[in-house]
Amino acid sequence: MSPQNHQHAPLRLADEADAAAARDEAESGQHRFDEIIADDSRIEPRDWMPESYRKSLVRQVSQHAHSEIIGMQPEGNWISRAPSLKRKAILMAKVQDEAGHGLYLYSAAETLGTPREDMYDQLYSGKAKYSSIFNYPARTWADVGAIGWLVDGAAIVNQVPLCRASYGPYGRAMVRICKEESFHQRQGWEILYSLSHGTQEQREMAQAAVDRFYGPALQMFGPPDGDSPNSQQSMAWNIKRFTNDELRQRFVDMIVPQVEALGLTLPDPELKWNEERGHYDFAELDWDEFFAVIKGNGPLSRQRLEHYRSARDEGAWVREAAVAYANRVSQEQDRDQAALIGA
């Protein structure tokens, strides 16, 4: 035996001891994790958690963050064309909120050990998914109203239960987001209200916007429960609280009286109150379209990504300048410090 081999033997023993310790830790960690989930309590960043839980969460939270960031674009396009200074100020505040939501969520996802740079890069490269609703254009000012009312409205129904998500930082981000979303929904509804109480032309514009966004907004809850393979596990982990279809139903029940208050209609001839179920029945949605949009064939899929990339590229010099300035200041401080000590 060569001397090297002598050295290897004890090392291998140490490796095995390490492996055994890791197994023990995983076992007690899993046990503790299961207890916390069963108690409907919260997992915090430094807790042991199953790798699959961590992965699912990173995917869910970062996709959510990307959606907030891309979600700025349809409305952002209208900031310079808002019909009054007041509407412009409101829209800027809303779009700024969405940027904030993205950052809260990136911050939460980062606590799971995925660097923010990686998440940005995934969006930049087109690898990451985001909510397909944002691949639809905002054609008219009424669309801005329909987006606020229906898209943010659906987001609220999705997000309120997530305030109780089992991962602490995610739940806390959602609480902050939900507080801000209700303004988004109301301002959208008011845009539509003004239009539906305006001229005939404005009324038609409002109705057309509702017609365009109704279906895609309902699809924001994801595919029907039968086609949603990951839902079961997510519900068991308390990172999803209700099924896609339950949330969709809740949303439909909510918006029917709201559309009546607008004096407009929803584009579904089958929409009808079902006394027996205590819910509205509604028609099957166009799922072929949904899956086509998810696969990147949405009306503006390519444009949204290109816009994100150019914003990122064109802003690079600002980020670089900020780093250069910070470095220079800290070097000057170090020099002053050294001079002081030298004296």
- In degrees and rounded to multiples of 5, residue 281 shows phi and psi of -85, 145
Stretch of residues binding another protein (CB under 8 A), selected from 78-86, 211-219, 253-261, 316-324? 316-324
Judge residue 178's burial from the number of C-beta atoms within 10 Å of its C-beta, 0-12 exposed, 13-18 middle, 19 or more buried.
middle
CA distance 320 to 188: 37
Min separation Cβ 103 and another protein, Å:
6
Provide DSSP, 185-233.
Answer: HHHHHHHHHHHHTS-HHHHHHHHHHHHHHHHHHHGGG-S-GGG-TTHHH
Print the binding letters for residues 38-77 with another protein: x by CB under 8 A, - otherwise. ------x-xxx-----------------------------
The Cα–Cα gap between 135 and 71 comes to 9
CB 64 within 8 A of CB 193: no
Widest distance between CA atoms in the chain:
95
Counting residues that bind Fe ion (by CB under 5 A) gives 6
Contact call for residues 71 and 77 (beta carbons, < 8 A): no
Decide: 75 and 144 in contact? Cβ < 8 Å: yes
Regarding 152 and contact with Fe ion (CB under 5 A), the answer is: yes
Please identify, using beta-carbon distances, which residue of 38 and 316 lies nearer to another protein: 316
Q: Which of 124, 175, 178, 254 binds another protein (CB under 8 A)?
A: 124
The binding track of 171-210 with respect to Fe ion, each residue x by CB under 5 A or -, is ----------x--x--------------------------
Partner touching 120 among another protein, Fe ion, none, CB below 5 to 8 Å by kind: another protein
Cα gap 38→122, rounded to integer Å:
33
Residue 225 interacts with another protein (CB under 8 A): yes or no: no
Position among 52, 323, 334, 336 found at the interface with another protein (CB under 8 A): 323
Residue closer to another protein (CB basis): 110 or 143: 110
Instruction: Say how many C-beta atoms besides its own lie within 10 A of residue 336's C-beta.
Output: 10
Total residues in contact with another protein, by rule CB under 8 A: 40
Q: Is 32 a binder of another protein (CB under 8 A)?
A: yes
User: CB-based contacts of 121: which residues, under 8 Å, 6+ apart?
Assistant: none
Closest to another protein by CB, 139 or 309: 309
| Binding status of residue 64 toward Fe ion by CB under 5 A | no
Segment contacting Fe ion by CB under 5 A, of 17-25, 144-152, 207-215, 324-332: 144-152
| Other Cβ atoms within 10 Å of 116 Cβ, number | 14
Distance CA(144)–CA(150), nearest Å, equals 10
Which C-beta is closer to another protein: that of 52 or that of 330?
330
Site for Fe ion contains 101 (CB under 5 A): yes
- Token look-up 């799971």 returns 112
- Residue 263 binds which entry of Fe ion, another protein, none, with Cβ cut-offs from 5 to 8 Å by kind? none
Binding another protein by CB under 8 A: which of 15, 16, 18, 25? 25
Contacts of 61 (CB under 8 A, 6+ apart): 105, 108, 109, 112, 167, 170, 173
**What x/- string results for residues 179 through 218 when contact with another protein is judged by CB under 8 A?**
-x--------------------------------------
Contacting residues toward another protein, per CB under 8 A: 25, 28-29, 32, 44, 46-48, 93, 96-97, 100, 103-104, 107-108, 110-111, 115-117, 120-121, 124-125, 172-173, 176, 180, 312-313, 316, 319-320, 322-323, 325-326, 329-330
